[in-house]
Structure 1
Amino acid sequence: MTSHLSEAGRTLIPRKDDRYGLLSPALVILTFVAGLVDALSYLALGHVFVANVTGNIVFLGFSIAHAQGFVWWTSALTLVSFMVGALIGGRIIHYFGRNRARHLLVSTCVQMTFVVAALVGIYLLNRFVPEPTMGGAGAGTTSAAQTAGQVAGQPSLNFPTGSHIDLHIIMLIVLLAPAMGIQNSTARKLSVPDLPTTVLTMTLTGVVADTSAHGHEQSKLGRRAVVMTALALGALTGALLQTNGHEDVILMVMVVCLLSVIAMMIPHVRSDAAWVTGR
């Protein structure tokens, strides 16, 4: 148990000679961000994951089969927008991938630009489009019961249906999915063990399988528990905020997290430390 706690501590506060240095705590923060954004996207944007693309592909299949609560266009739009972000992430890797600190700094700055744009967009739409619906029968009308429900703390975004297109939802998908595409491409390039920032299926599998095969000392439980906890806490925080109609606060928390990663990387962009150069 002591060794696992020590491993968890080194993940959050690495030693000076750590092979991955500040990349580990930075990616833990980005894992928390992934939990936040997936809570927002699944609960408010029509059963989509803007960070977890595996789930989104499954949801696309559900929507084609006309499963209740799933709309094909939200899944399709999310996948396309995510790929745009991955494309941007690839260009960042091309120009900055040789320096890990600079790479993470630039990718996080670009990612934050998308999140800030989403935050600004929410405020603009709330101000100039007070009834955030378009298309379909009944667009532009909100019942007294719906209004009362929102005041009582229900989600503030209108859930999409086949005949209902919400400008807020479109904007958030188009801006947040590319942000997560950039984050995923960055985490893939950095290749820090057990810190993919989004899909943790293999992380959980590794805990159980490695314990079974090699004993609990080889399970890397401390490190893996940190990242799984970060994703769960992000999802919990996002769900609590979203169910009380605070989508804007979720985006603000994301910006604060991204700023912390940027602040961690700035002092090291010219460093020749092993974790920066990858040697």
Structure 2
Amino acid sequence: MTSHLAEAGRTLIPRNNDRYGLLSPALVILTFVAGLVDALSYLAMGRVFVANVTGNIVFLGFSIAHAQGFVWWTSTLALLAFIVGALIGGRIIRRFGDNHAKHLLVATGVQTLFVIAALIGIYLLNHFSSEPTMGGTAAAAAARATPSLIFPTASHIDLHIIMLIVLLAPAMGIQNSTARKLSVPDLPTTVMTMTLTGIVADTSARGHEHSKLGRRAVAMTALALGALTGALLQTHGHEDVILIVMIVCLLLVIAMMLPHIHSDASWTIAEKSPVSK
């Protein structure tokens, strides 16, 4: 147990010679962000994911089968918007991928712009649109007996939902492409299926000391805490606060990376891919 706690501590506060340096705590923060945004998207945007986006493929199948509560256009829009984000993430990798700190800084900066645009969009739509509001005042939230959005149906398309999907799904596409390129073990920032599988399978195959429980538990806890925080805020009508918390977390990652964009620390240098002959 002590070794697992020490491993968890090193993930959050890495040693000077740690192989992944500040990438580990930065990706833990981004994992928390993923939990936040999926709580917002699933609870307030009509059963759609913008972080764990592969779930939308299943939801699309449900909607085609006319399962209650699922509509095809939200899942399709989220998938397409996520792909756009992944394309942007790929261009960032091509330009800045040789330096992990600079790569994460730029990618998170672009991601932050998308989230800021979503926050501004909510306030503008609340002011000019006659549709249901998001993130209104506490009094307005208390007056609502249901979540602050009307779930989308075949006959109802909420501009708030469209705007949030179009802006948040690309942001998470950028985050996923960045985490994939950084390849920090057990910190994919979104899908934790392989992380959970690794705990059980490695314990079974090699013994409890090889489970990497401390590191993996940090990642899963960050995702769960993000989802919990997002759910608590959303059920009280504070979708705008969810976006504000996301922005604060993203700015924290930027602040962590900024001093190291010209560093020669080993964790900032991307490994060169072997050239095939």
Task: Say yes or no: TM over 0.5.
Answer: yes
Aligned-residue offset at 1:155: 1.5
Tell me the distance in 1 between the aligned counterparts of 2:86 and 2:246. Answer: 19
Segments of 4+ moved more than 4 angstroms: 147-150
Aligned to 1:232: 224
Q: Is the 8 A contact 1:49 1:56 kept in 2?
A: yes
| Cα displacement (A) at 1:162 | 0.7
Separation in structure 2 between the aligned mates of residue 44 and residue 64 of structure 1, nearest angstrom: 21
- Report the alpha carbon displacement of residue 129 of structure 1 after superposing the two structures with TM: 0.6
Deviations 1:169-199 (A, max 9, x none): 0000000000000000000000000000000
| 1:261 counterpart (232, 245, 253) | 253
Partners of 1:115 and 1:179 within 8 A in 2: yes
Q: Which of 112, 134, 143 is matched with 1:151 structurally?
A: 143
> For residue 198 of structure 1, what is the aligned residue in structure 2?
190
Give 1:46 shift.
1.0
In the aligned structure 1, how far is the partner of 2:58 from the partner of 2:110?
Answer: 28
Distance 1:32 1:149 in 2: 25
Supply the distance in 1 between the matched residues of 2:194 and 2:157 (Cα, whole angstroms): 36
Distance 1:91 1:77 in 2: 21
Aligned pairs (5 A) from 1:118-197 = 118-132=118-132, 151-152=143-144, 154-197=146-189
Aligned to 2:61: 61
Question: 1:150 & 1:246 partners in 2: Cα distance?
Answer: 11
Q: Tell me the SS of whatever aligns to 2:54.
A: helix
Q: Which residue in 2 is equivalent to 1:215?
A: 207
Given the two structures, how large is their TM-score scaled by the length of structure 2? Answer: 0.94
Equivalent residues of 1:90, 1:185 under 8 A apart: yes
Secondary structure of 1:222's aligned partner: helix
Distance 1:259 1:180 in 2: 15
Separation in structure 1 between the aligned mates of residue 53 and residue 241 of structure 2, nearest angstrom: 24
2:244 alignment counterpart: 252
1:107 corresponds to:
107
Aligned to 1:140: none
User: Would you say the 8 A contact 1:153–1:243 is kept in 2?
Assistant: no
**CA RMSD for the aligned pairs?**
1.4
Q: Aligned partners of 1:43, 1:13: CA distance in 2, in Å?
A: 33
**Which TM-score applies when normalising by structure 1?**
0.93
Residue 142 of structure 1 aligns with which residue? Answer: none
How far apart, CA to CA, are the structure 2 residues paired with 1:72 and 1:115?
24
C-alpha distance in structure 1 between counterparts of 2:179 and 2:217, whole Å: 18
Query: Are 1:8 and 2:8 an aligned pair?
Result: yes
How far has the Cα of 1:278 moved from its partner?
A: 3.1
Q: Contact 1:150/1:156 (CA < 8 Å) preserved in 2? A: no
Which structure 2 segments of 5+ residues have no match? 134-138, 272-277
2:110 and 2:98 mapped to 1: Cα distance? 18
Whole-Å Cα distance in 2 between the matches of residues 77 and 272 of structure 1?
41
- Measure the CA separation in 2 of the matches of 1:204 and 1:49: 20
Q: Offset at 1:132?
A: 4.3
Structure 1 residue 30: Cα displacement: 0.1
* Shift in Å, 1:94: 0.3
State the partner residue of 1:141: none
Q: What is the SS of the residue equivalent to 2:20?
A: coil
Q: Is the 8 A contact 2:97 2:270 kept in 1?
A: no
* 1:210 shift after superposition: 0.4
Percent identity over paired residues:
81
Deviation at 1:152, TM superposition (A): 4.2
CA deviations on 1:118-141 (whole Å, 9 max, x unpaired) are 0000000000113249xxxxxxxx
Distance in 2, matches of 1:152 and 1:86, equals 37
Deviations 1:82-136 (CA, angstroms, capped at 9, x unpaired): 0000000000000000000000000000000000000000000000113249xxx
